[in-house]
Amino acid sequence: MSSDIEGRIRETGYRLYDLMEEESGSIFSKRYWVGKLFEWCMHNEAFKVQMFRFIDVFPCLKDTDSVISHIQQYFSDPALNFSSAVNWGIKYVAPSWMTSRIISRGIARNIGRVARQFIAGSSPEDGLPVLEKLRSRGMAFSIDLLGEAVVSENEAQVYLERYIQLFDFLNSAQRKWRPLGGVLGSLDWGRSPMVNVSFKPSAMYSQINACAFEHSIEKSKERFRPVLRKAMQAGAFVCLDMESHGIKDLTLGLYRSLMEEPEFRNYPHTGIVIQAYLRESQRDLDQMIDWAAQRGLHFTIRLVKGAYWDQELIAASQRNWPSPVFTDKSETDANFERLAGTILENRGRIKLACASHNLRSIAAVVETAKEVGATGEDLEFQVLYGMGEPVRSALRKAGLHVRVYCPVGEMLQGMSYLVRRLLENTANESFLMQAFSQKMPKADLLSNPADRVKTIRGEPQRTTGPGGIAAYRIEPVFDWSRAEHRARFADALKENARQLSDTGTAANRRQGD
Sequential DSSP letters for 133-199: HHHHTT-EEEEEE---S-SSHHHHHHHHHHHHHHHHHHHHHHTT---TTS-SSSEETTTEES-EEEE
Nearest to 360 by CA among 3, 8, 9: 9
DSSP state of 435: I
CA dihedral 372, 377, 382, 388 (to 10 degrees): 80
pLDDT the model gives residue 31:
44
Confidence category of residue 465, pLDDT binned at 50, 70, 90: very low
Domain boundaries, the chain: 45-114, 119-452, 482-513
pLDDT the model gives residue 445:
87
pLDDT above 50: residue 462: no
What value does the mean pLDDT take over residues 350-374? 96
Using CA atoms, how far residue 118 sits from 40, 107, 195, 430, in Å, is 18, 17, 20, 16
pLDDT above 60: residue 49: yes
CATH number given to 119-452: 3.20.20.220
pLDDT the model gives residue 512:
61
pLDDT the model gives residue 100:
62
Question: For the whole model, what pTM was predicted?
Answer: 0.84
Beta-bridge partner residues of 380:
353
- Rounded Cα distance, 224 and 238, in Å: 11
pLDDT the model gives residue 70:
77
pLDDT above 70: residue 96: no
Identify which has the larger pLDDT, 418 or 214: 214
- Rounded Cα distance, 43 and 40, in Å: 5
Identify which has the larger pLDDT, 5 or 87: 5
For the segment 101-153, what is each residue's pLDDT rounded down to a tens digit? 666 666 666 667 777 778 899 999 999 999 999 999 999 999 999 877 788 99
Nearest to 148 by CA among 207, 208, 219, 200: 200
Angle between helices 5-20 and 389-397 (to 10 degrees): 110
pLDDT above 50: residue 354: yes
pLDDT the model gives residue 207:
92
